[in-house]
Amino acid sequence: MNFEHILFSIEAGVATLSLNRPDQLNSFNAQMHGEVREALKQVRQNSEVRVLLLTGEGRGFCAGQDLADRNVAPGSAAPDLGESIEKFYNPLIRQLRDLPMPVICAVNGVAAGAGANIPLACDLVLAARSASFIQAFCKLGLVPDSGGTWTLPRLVGMARAKALALLGERLSAEQAAQWGLIYRVVEDSELREEALKLARHLATQPTYGLALIKRSLNASFNNSFDEQLDMERDLQRLAGRSEDYREGVSAFMEKRSPSFKGR
């Protein structure tokens, strides 16, 4: 499968998807959306894959929507941006959240607009020290999309979420980590290696159990305490039936390191 706007590879359980329109700061056009969708489909269907690493080529991570793809000529009818979100962004965000494996995002540079919110749909976000997050929507008269209005208040609290969304100022990677928006900051030169190290580790872990962890934490914001307790019961029931749980217990008993298959 040859892609033009992304780089995609699968190696030793790690799928790496890198946005690759560096001259446009990896902003999304319809074709890139299609290629990402195709790659994610392969990730989902390939039982070898146990972790996804998402990153970008060049100096930016992703500048969101390519506005050249969306030019509003004066006098023309108002575009239906809802349709573009329904067709492209929402399915992408849902896919990342629903993938039954950990998704690591390595933010290698500026992440703006939808590009700032796509990482927040991933599970573990690393950012290069020089990276930054910009909720640029307000500068164009738009609303944060790709889950931004949902994830921001949950990650950084309402006061900071509103400041980010209403002011659209640049948030440094450093600050983002301090605020709890992302997991951690690493030196620019080390980002890719650190992210890969994390990915290689996760590719050896009990993937099915990790998928259930992800499912339960994603649901926790919408569930009542009681519903969440019920969900923990149900998911633990499933986890307890996995081969990896059996292996984990016997490895512990036999004082050896476990060999997980992800099932």
Give me the residues that bind another protein (CB under 8 A), please. Answer: 231, 234-235, 237-238
Residue pair 60/26 in contact by the 8 Å Cβ criterion: yes
**To the nearest whole angstrom, how small is the minimum distance from the Cβ of residue 96 to another protein?**
16
Give the residue with the Cβ less far from another protein, 4 or 226: 226
CA distance 259 to 246: 11
* Closest CB to another protein among residues 237, 255: 237
Q: What 3-state class would DSSP assign to 235?
A: helix
Among residues 103, 92, 97, 9, the alpha carbon closest in space to that of 51 is found at 103
Query: In this structure, what token pair is assigned to residue 129?
Result: 């020290």
In the three-class reduction of DSSP (H, G, I as helix; E, B as strand; rest coil), residue 106 is classed as: strand
Element (H, E) at 170: strand 170-172
Q: Would you state the structure tokens that stand for residue 199, as one six-digit string?
A: 């990915």
Which residue has 């299609």 as its token pair?
Answer: 34
Residue among 188, 215, 214, 189 at smallest CA distance from 202: 214
Cα(204)–Cα(261) distance, integer angstroms: 7
Of 11 and 86, which CB lies nearer to another protein in the complex structure? 86
Least distance in angstroms from the C-beta of 118 to another protein:
23
Kindly state the smallest distance separating residue 237's Cβ from another protein, in Å: 7
Distance CA 185, CA 176 (A): 9
CB of 31 to another protein, least distance (A): 29
Q: Would you give the end-to-end CA distance of the chain in angstroms?
A: 27
Helix and strand totals (H; E) in the chain: 11, 10
Residue closer to another protein (CB basis): 204 or 236:
236
In angstroms, what is the minimal distance from the CB of 217 to another protein? 15
Nearer to another protein, 10 or 238 (CB): 238
Q: Dig out the tokens for 117 from the structure.
A: 């919110």
Query: Closer CB to another protein, residue 90 or residue 172?
Result: 90
What's the closest the beta carbon of residue 27 comes to another protein, in angstroms? 32
User: Closest distance between another protein and the C-beta of residue 81, in Å?
Assistant: 21
> Which residue lies nearer to another protein by CB, 81 or 231?
231
